[in-house]
Structure 1
């Protein structure tokens, strides 16, 4: 059952259907098919992959479609945001003029009466529709050279906001920037199509100027004028939103957005993200609680939470950190890399929460909302 207030989750175990729409260059149809046939065997070996279909438009021979099915969201997200994925799809890139990727969880299936799979049609299906607004969330993270943090914060806080309107159906809603040491996290909220919004932002002169100003300070070199270099950088930087929940209560004047950084022990990132997500559902469901909304972002062994709180996190550190009970604190302590936060002992009980709050809380750089118009 999908809890009330959860509009995004990668943790319900549902199968996932990915739809990739492609417009390829005239005359490259055979080259594209050959590249796909070479790639599909590699994709079939990826953990969590179930099946693929390649389709060509009946009407337009340059319009193609790839659909794939996955056991659940986490293995797909891990693969699509990996450098292995970039390497696999590289042979296709010379043929492709434009793409659009859409990701869905499977709610229901219909089979013919004699179909062998009919008996298991409802296995691993999303139990009920998620209810929420037309908002998509995504984060990017990257590191800067140690010692340049103040200069980077100055660059990221001082730029002019880009035009919010993308097209008739898509607009930028909010951009939140935080830092933890030399790590930068930029979280965006978009109404409509995320990829259209990201392409729109990349074209804006204000944003291009900021990206150029950042280049000398990045630990990972990049050249955004080179499509391959840009693709590699943003693939490494992408941190998908794996869970979002809201209380439904109206924001008051004291509501503030905070961010918390949770480096996980090797192999524990997904389990830690799941644990925090479950606690966020409980926190937002408390009508007397201070937590109004939470988003969990996760990739590999990195977990980041954005939390909208009514009041100061120090007044309710357990709720702010999504660690409200002794059992949850102990479980999180086994997965959290406390040393990476500068804490020299394992998280064991609530006496350590104020210290963890101080070490995990990210520095606010800027939080911009688009005007309602």
Structure 2
């Protein structure tokens, strides 16, 4: 007899999180070029020895389809999401997987928190609580959130903003199950952040957008202004650029309060001290969960994006941000500003020291605030 699942209440506010403390299961689906199976296996044997030494990695399995020899599957288990995200977004990861590129026709990566676990042996007993399982299922609005970030050459910011604001929106419908919902573009100095919301398959949506003539024209117009050179006609160059540009959403929370036409989207850029980006993202996510519990607060939703020492937070705010700087910054709870101080690169923000008081919070809000370039919502979204 299988033991009943624990009776836990799902979170209606947090729909996306890398910080639930649970183990992570990563599934990589691969379509291998015909005749390249042995080459792929040799590359994997070399790669797996390197991956085994990555902190947080627990195990992996390589599987081949019994029906189609070109279809392969790699599953890996990690102590939690943060160490995996730190590795998969690193230059080390790019170099590790480079030998696979010549063998692989297509890939798809899926990431899951482990929610329940049942062991065999006849009893079929569920795993006891507290062993790295996600405590409760997350609910949400069916929207997948992702972002890209890159820097442009200093002095080209105005031209880049003009290019990014002037293109025609691509077709929202991707296929019968996937649709583009919203795209927001922001700039902070010479850094560009493009936040994307998709209902359905994120990878299908990104490929759909990349094929649109109006988007391709924008990307080509941006090329002379990018700090990192790229050649979109070279698959390896394009892959390397967009891999480095990926800015994953690590946490999303929505308030249980009513929506209002006065709600506006803002973006905040928090440069972290070297090696402290994940800690800063975790702090902001925890503060957002507390804020979301107040149905009368000004913050209606918040998404934290993080890669290395780049942390960006999208905030849906009712009213003017200056009216509640601590809440909009995600630093309202007692001690949170002091906790954030050693994590923030205050010099990069142009601040003399950690924020201490409303005047400093207003200055921090001013320095972290990103310039809105364009915010487009698809009809019916």
Length-normalised TM-score, structure 1: 0.96
Alignment partners' CA distance in 1, 2:308 and 2:247: 9
CA displacement at 1:114 relative to structure 2: 7.7
Distance in 2, matches of 1:148 and 1:226, equals 25
Matching residue of 1:68: 76
User: What residue number does 1:263 align with?
Assistant: 271
2:148 matched to 1:140?
yes
**Distance 1:122-1:338 versus aligned 2 partners, 3 A rule:** closer
1:270 Cα deviation after fit: 1.1
Change (3 A) 1:250 1:371: farther
- Written as runs of structure 1 = structure 2, the 5 A alignment for 1:86-125 is 86-113=94-121, 123-125=131-133
Work out the CA distance in 2 between the residues paired with 1:221 and 1:229. Answer: 9
- 2:340 pairs with 1:323: no
Report the Cα offset of residue 301 of structure 1.
Answer: 1.1
What residue is the counterpart of 1:83 in the other structure?
A: 91
The offset of 1:193, in angstroms, is 1.1
Contact 1:333 1:348 in 2 (8 A): no
Task: Name stretches of at least 5 consecutive residues in structure 2 with no aligned partner.
Answer: 1-7
Equivalent residue number for residue 58 of structure 2: 50
| Number of the residue aligned with 1:343 | 351
User: How do 1:211-226 residues align onto structure 2 when only pairs under 5 Å count?
Assistant: 211-226=219-234
Retained in 2: the 8 A contact 1:338–1:346?
A: yes
Deviation at 1:119, TM superposition (A): 6.6
C-alpha separation in 2, matches of 1:286 and 1:274: 20
2:294 equivalent in structure 1:
286
Match of 1:41 in 2: 49
Which structure shows the higher helix fraction? 1
Does structure 1 retain, via aligned residues, the 8 Å contact 2:271–2:349? yes
CA contact under 8 A between 1:108 and 1:122: conserved in structure 2? no
The structural deviation recorded for 1:211 is: 0.4
Please give the alpha-carbon distance, in whole angstroms, between the structure 2 residues aligned to 1:81 and 1:154.
29
Q: Is the 8 A contact 2:115 2:134 kept in 1?
A: yes
1:21 is aligned to 2:7: no
Question: How far 1:4 moved relative to its partner?
Answer: 3.7
**1:308-334 alpha-carbon deviations (Å, 9 max, x no partner):** 011110111111101113411111112
| Structure 2 residue 197 is the aligned partner of structure 1 residue 189 | yes
- Aligned partners of 2:126 and 2:286: how far apart in 1? 32
Task: State the aligned residue count.
Answer: 372
Question: For residues 259-311 of structure 1, what are the alpha-carbon distances to aligned partners after superposition, in whole Å with 9 as ceiling and x for unaligned?
Answer: 00111111221111111111111112111111110000011111110000111
After TM superposition, the score normalised by the length of structure 2 is 0.94
**Cα pair distance change 1:24/1:300, threshold 3 Å:** same
Q: How does 1:231-246 map to 2 (within 5 A)?
A: 231-246=239-254
SS in 2 for 1:37: helix
Q: Any stretches of 5+ residues in structure 1 without a counterpart?
A: none
Instruction: State whether structure 2 residue 232 is matched by structure 1 residue 206.
Output: no
Runs (4 or more) in structure 1 with deviation over 6 Å come to: 117-121
Q: CA RMSD in A?
A: 1.7
